[in-house]
Structure 1
Amino acid sequence: MTTYDDTEANGMNERGALLDFPGADELATAGHVEPLSERALARVLAEVEAAVATEGAGVTTKGAKGVVVTMPERRLIGRQFGRRRALIGLLTTAAVATGVVTYANHGTTSAGTHSEARANTASVFLDDISTVAASQSASSGKYWKMRTTVGDEYISQSMDEYVVSGGKAAKKGQHPDWQFGPKDLDWNGLDQLTTDPAQLLALLQSPPRPKSISPFDQAASVLTESPAGPKLRAGVFKAMAGLKGVKLVGQVKDTTGRGGTAVEFAEAKSVGQVIVDPKTSAILEYTFTWTAGPSKGKVTHHTVLSTGFTDKIG
């Protein structure tokens, strides 16, 4: 059996070859750098994604403020060195351009540092989703329809709630107002609510009222169940990004098998999680898990198949 020789034709060993790429010096010395323009950054990230697709490496971009990169653990031999150096060079360009790079290499950072990185990435993701939400078309109708795995629900402009089962519609009663900080909002209240993210965050951070749900749950409820328009949804996503303790879970599947990106918020006795469709900003599923107390271990899933306005029930 021959001994493996990791020396390239140019005399470099594997470590030297991996460090021999454009941008290595910049990566080693880069501290804070000003980000590229959105157009330039998009071009860089497109090149990274194309290179990754060719080489089989996994990379997830998170907009102008951060990049999450998963590099495969694979031994490099022969001509793969050259291609991999080009790929690493592209990743380095993105790293220096954005100023923030988080490597998905679990176990290499302290718990505190890892937690801070996750929180920062959640903020980046929610900021990006707010842009997606703002780009959606506004519409209107007499009822807000929400199709779930349980059935179809309708909310009228007067907050009457109807359910459809077996093709028959029945009035369920009054839908409760949506909590948002010190406010209880009905359909009209949503239209009158500010869309400014800073003001929305201030409302969410107001002192809690008796029997009020967490700020994360308040935001999730408005995003999941209410007829909030694109501007308001964008503002709420951005306000949610400002909540302390919101963490990025990453790519997951809901109970129906649909893929999305999840963020979560842990309280003393529970954890709330929402799965977001990154292409549309729609909430696919909200999950509530008790982590302490008499209900410890109990999990509730609220899976939303579709939402939208309609002028009739059924």
Structure 2
Amino acid sequence: MDASSIPVVLFAYARPAHLARVLECLRANEVPVIYAYADGARSHLDEAAVEEVRAKLRAIDWAEVRLTARTENLGLGRNVLAGVSEVAACHEAFVVWEDDLIAVPGTYAWLAAALRHYASDPRVMSVTGWTHPRVTPPGVGAAPYFDGRAECWVWGTWARSWRGMADETAEMKMAAAVARGVASGAYGADLPEMARAERRRNLWAVRWLYHHLQQGGLCVRPPWSMVEHIGTDAGATNVIGSGPWSADPLRAAPPLPESWPAAQEDSACAVLWRAVNPPAPWPWRLARRLREKLRFGR
């Protein structure tokens, strides 16, 4: 598998200023092929920004671009599930990027190298350019590590791993993970909460995380993050404010390993995820469930 054959699947909506920064970093990363999925406007209020985003995508002259301009608003969850499934049908491996994530030069090369190395290892289901000091196991040094919890901020995978994503909801995959002995909150109490909210909030990432847990798959993480989220503002779909997830300024990309490690999860990963996402106090959970029942009838 040659690095030039690994496309970036880019999802964009109505934030042209954010997209401009993302495109700058994709150019600096020498990304050769971009499948761009530009969602349709929710209302006439977004139409101008949506058109500006599409104009920026059409103006790219430093990479091959295949643009899909949605005629309706799918929302992030439906757009990602549909777009990635399309690309997975014609590419063995690919990297997924959203319009509010930037990364240092070398990120794409690191992800592409990991995708090439682990292409035939069924234990490895995905790679990512993001990690955080709060969930990075101690002592990893400059080496990649393996986590049972996957990632949705600049990540790559193979068509083999994506297979089955459209067949079950997050709750169904959560139940399958529990059946194989993985507690629903083994990697943080936020996951079962997001699974229950998947359809209501048009999410996709929690299904991907439980897809890994359902199959016992691993995600390759870098020893330090190459990725920064720049979209934690009022225009964000699912993330408002970074809070405790703020991190130090990005460092240069880690060196490519001379020898990539064997696929084995670091035993600290699940413990760290549970520590940063503990269960909420039961009165708060009960009150929230009552509010949801009154509002949504379920």
Common topology (TM > 0.5): no
Structure with more helix by fraction = 2
Tell me which protein shows more strand as a share of its residues. 1
Q: Please say which structure displays the higher CA radius of gyration.
A: 1
Question: Of the two structures, which has the highest relative contact order with CA contacts closer than 8 Å and spacing of 6 or more?
Answer: 2
TM-score by length of 1: 0.29
